[in-house]
Amino acid sequence: LDRWMEKLKQVVAVLGSQWGDEGKGKIVDILAQEYDVCARYNGGSNAGHSIVVNGTKFAFHLMPSGILNQKAQCLIGNGCVVHLPTLFTEITKLEEKGINCKGRLFLSDRAHIVLDLHQKVDGLQELDLGGGKLGTTGRGIGPTYAEKMNRSGIRASDLTNMEHFRKRVGAIAAIMNKRYPSLNADVEEQVKLYSEFARQLLEREMIVDGVEWINARHKEGKKILLEGANATMLDIDFGTYPFVTSSNPTVGGCFTGLGLAPSKLGDVVGVVKAYTTRVGEGPFPTELFDSVGTHLREVGVERGTTTGRPRRCGWFDAVILNYSHMINGYTALNLTKLDVLTGLDEIKIAVSYEYQGKTLHSIPASLDVLAQVKVNYETVPGWKEDISHSRSFSDLPPNCQRYVNRLEELLNVPIVWIGVGAAREATIEK
């Protein structure tokens, strides 16, 4: 993949372009082998990235995927919300596999902390919604971001003063207990648990001024990879609200979630699955309920890395991708899981939406409208040949090449990398 690697700028962002689960971790892992810094800028342990290296599977939730490059440094930025028990579980599992994290993994002092209490409240809020549930992961992400916006949250810097931390937890617990009497939040239990995590964070010298840290690395000329969690259609502003996450996975989140100036960003890589999936509730125009949907789910092993929930599957949606490109300005695309389409007689591509006889040129904010759109498809012939061992674009069957080329025409963005299997080496350059 050297040809395109050489063209990438000093700072590159990797973003999910659909509803998440596109396979961002794999391309981040590949690119991170050539980058000095890998930084997460949004989300929390609701994210799930799976990477297979030399037959070993790594599942990340909070950890930047670049941690597998032992020469790289990693930062969890201020735009993230961090559940420390999950983070230290990931650290332990990595170090058991010989991946050293000490002196390589840093946490912004402005990142907000997810307490176990937030996770319990997340579940209670879903119960309150009943039939109108959002389908959250239950990881406490929404309640923590809500506190952040309500200016009552806890940040990593608060862990350097445990007496102050105790007061902050007490204030949050009082509000939670009043709203949910059955919660019976135990302040001292949380303080005891997080005191130990605070000790480990300080011992490892993990808490840093994230803004100063990332800009210092940039000034030093370090190559920086920005890793997004979730995806455009789950963005709190631009996604299918309210069935979204609570942060900005789109390109703007790179700047607010790390403190980097927009002028420092060079390239934006969009990761797009060769079909479409989503987890949770909300409209999904190209969703399939037939044997093809079953094929995509079973062959693609479409279950959430974080929740284990089966994913909803559908045809590739060029309308969503063009909307995503308008927002993020992709300079290159990574097409993933192309091999999953092998065996289908024909493949459909959603090329436009209609509503009440009119063509829509964007994704409507109204979910009622989105749920009622008529989807117009192009149909292209499929292929039967196994492509999992292909290592160049010319190795792909003619119909497979035509499918990729047609997607590139519809999106007007170069498809640079193509995933034909789960392993790191099962990626070819177009």
| pLDDT tens-place string over residues 23-73 | 888 888 889 889 999 999 999 987 666 777 777 778 888 999 889 999 999
Q: Which of 49, 112, 118, 325 is catalytic?
A: 49
Tokens of 279: 């987890």
Give the 3-state secondary structure of residue 199.
Answer: helix
Phi/psi for 113 (5° steps) reads -100, 130
Q: Which of 21, 36, 122, 317 is catalytic?
A: 21
| 49-53/56-60 β-pairing | antiparallel
Do the Cβ atoms of 61 and 86 come closer than 8 Å? yes
Clarify whether 116 is annotated catalytic. Answer: no
Q: How far apart are CA 369 and CA 124, in angstroms?
A: 30
Clarify whether 21 is annotated catalytic. Answer: yes
CA angle (327, 333, 334) in 5-degree steps: 130
Mind listing the pLDDT tens digit for each residue in 258-317?
999 999 999 999 999 999 999 888 999 999 999 999 999 999 999 876 667 889 999 999
The pTM of this model reads: 0.92
Q: How far apart are CA 404 and CA 129, in angstroms?
A: 41
User: What are the per-10-residue average pLDDT scores of the chain (430 residues)?
Assistant: 80 96 87 93 81 78 90 97 95 93 97 92 71 64 92 95 92 89 86 94 97 98 94 97 95 98 98 94 95 95 77 97 98 97 98 97 95 98 96 96 98 96 88
Nearest to 362 by CA among 413, 327, 315, 310: 327
